Amino acid sequence: MPHTARAFWLRAPGEGEIREVALPEPGDGDVVVRTLHTGVSRGTETLVFSGAVPRSQYATMRAPFQEGEFPAPVKYGYLAVGVVEHGPAELRGRTVFCLHPHQTRFVVPAAAVTPVPDDVPPGRAVLAGTVETAVNAVWDAAPLVGDRIAVVGAGLVGCSVAAVLAGLPGARVELVDVDPARAGVAAALGVGFASPDGALGDCDLVVHASATEAGLARSLELLAAEGEVIELSWYGDRRVSLPLGEAFHPRRLAVRSSQVGTVSPRRASRGYAGRMALALRLLADPRFDALVGGEHAFDELPALLPRLAAGEPPALCVRVRYDDA
C-alpha cells in the first residue's frame, strides 16, 4: 500500500495547492480508498476558498475529515467516490462514497463509507452528499400527493430537491430562479421552470434554497393559506429581514428550517447510514446527470477554485477526475 497521497489544501484565502500527505497505517476496522472522482460543492467550497466562513460558524462548517482550521490552511471537501483497495472482505474492490476532501487516496473507518449501487455510475455518485440533503428536506417537508410545490433557488441543492420531488404523483413542481439558463436543467429533471416574477402561486409548499433575502420573501408570497416554507439556505452570520406583517398572520403561513446535520425527526429511525443509502439508490436515475456540468483533472484544482469563486464556469456541480493523479 502506498504510504503517501496527494491532497488539495487551501494554503491561504484565495490560494490553493496540491500537497503530498502521509497516509496513516490502516487499522483492523479501516479501509484504504483510491479516489476515482470528487465533486466540488461550489456554494460551500467557494465560501471556504474565499476565507468567508464566519468565525461564529467554524464548528458548524467543519467537514467530517477536514484537516486544519478555518480560514486556512485547511483541507476541505465532502463529495468523494473511490474504490476500496484494503479493508474488510465485503468492501474490498467495491466502489464507495465518502464525505472526504479532495485527495488521491485516503484511510477512514469502514463505517464512514457507503457502497455505491451497481447501477449508479461512479461519476454520478459524487452527488450523493447533496441528494442526501434533498432527501432530508423532503422528509422534513412531508409533501402530499397532488401538492402544488415551488423550489426557489436552482442551485445544486435546489435542483436536487426538485429532482426528488418530481416523482410525487399528481404534484405540480416548479423550479424558480433568476437565471433563465436553469430552464434547461428543470426540463431535464422533469419539472417546470419560472422566473421569480412569473412563478405560479397558491402553493401548498415552497422549498427555499436561494440563500437570498429576496428569495425567502418571494417564497412566502407564493404560498396558499396555511402553506409552509421549508428553509434550506444557510446564511452564516448574515441577518435576513422577513415580511411577517402583511398576509403572514391572516393566511397562517409558516417558515420551518431543514438542515442535513440532523436526520429529519420524521424518519429518525433510518439514521445517517439509511439516509445516505437512499440517496445513492435515487442516483440510479440518469436525470441527475443534468446537475454535473463539467469535469476537470485533480491537478487543475488550484487554478479551478479561483474561477469557481469568481462565478466561472457556471456548472452546478464540477466533477474532479483522478485517473492521472
Residue 276, domain member (yes or no) = no
Helical packing angle, 128-141 and 271-282, nearest 10°? 110
* Closest among 165, 162, 97 to 125, alpha carbons compared: 97
- Looking at the fold, whether 142 and 67 belong to one and the same domain comes out as no
How far apart are alpha carbons 60 and 236 in whole angstroms?
Answer: 9
pTM beyond 0.85, yes or no: yes
Residue 237, domain member (yes or no) = yes
Question: Rounded to the nearest 5°, which phi and psi values hold at 275?
Answer: -65, -45
Cell numbers that stand for 217 in this block: 420573501
- Looking at the fold, whether 165 and 261 belong to one and the same domain comes out as yes
The answer to whether 88 and 40 are in contact (CB under 8 A) is: no
- Looking at the fold, whether 11 and 111 belong to one and the same domain comes out as yes
* Closest among 186, 204, 189, 201 to 144, alpha carbons compared: 204
Per-residue pLDDT of the chain (325 residues; tens, 9 = 90+): 789 999 999 999 999 999 999 999 999 999 999 999 999 988 889 889 999 898 988 998 999 999 999 999 999 999 999 999 999 999 999 999 999 999 999 999 999 999 999 999 999 999 999 999 999 999 999 999 999 999 999 999 999 999 999 989 999 999 999 999 999 999 999 999 999 999 999 999 999 999 999 999 999 999 999 999 999 998 877 789 999 988 899 999 999 999 888 999 999 999 999 999 999 999 999 999 999 988 999 999 999 999 999 888 777 899 999 987 6
Query: The domain that contains 137 carries what CATH number?
Result: 3.40.50.720
Residue 274, domain member (yes or no) = no
What helix, strand, coil percent values describe the chain, rounded to 5? 30, 30, 40
The answer to whether 309 and 46 are in contact (CB under 8 A) is: yes
Residues with Cβ < 8 Å from 237, sequence gap 6 or more? 54, 56, 57
* Closest among 275, 141, 125 to 209, alpha carbons compared: 141
How far apart are alpha carbons 176 and 152 in whole angstroms?
Answer: 5
Question: Rounded to the nearest 5°, which phi and psi values hold at 265?
Answer: -55, -25
Residue 54, domain member (yes or no) = yes
- Looking at the fold, whether 107 and 142 belong to one and the same domain comes out as no
The answer to whether 194 and 211 are in contact (CB under 8 A) is: no
- Looking at the fold, whether 257 and 135 belong to one and the same domain comes out as yes
Domain hosting residue 14, numbered range = 4-127+283-321
- Looking at the fold, whether 57 and 162 belong to one and the same domain comes out as no
How far apart are alpha carbons 182 and 154 in whole angstroms?
Answer: 7
Helical packing angle, 42-49 and 156-165, nearest 10°? 160
* Closest among 118, 114, 43, 60 to 305, alpha carbons compared: 43
The answer to whether 296 and 321 are in contact (CB under 8 A) is: yes
- Looking at the fold, whether 203 and 224 belong to one and the same domain comes out as yes
- For the chain, what is the domain count? 2
- Looking at the fold, whether 135 and 123 belong to one and the same domain comes out as no
Residues with Cβ < 8 Å from 215, sequence gap 6 or more? 152, 153, 196, 208, 233
- Looking at the fold, whether 148 and 106 belong to one and the same domain comes out as no
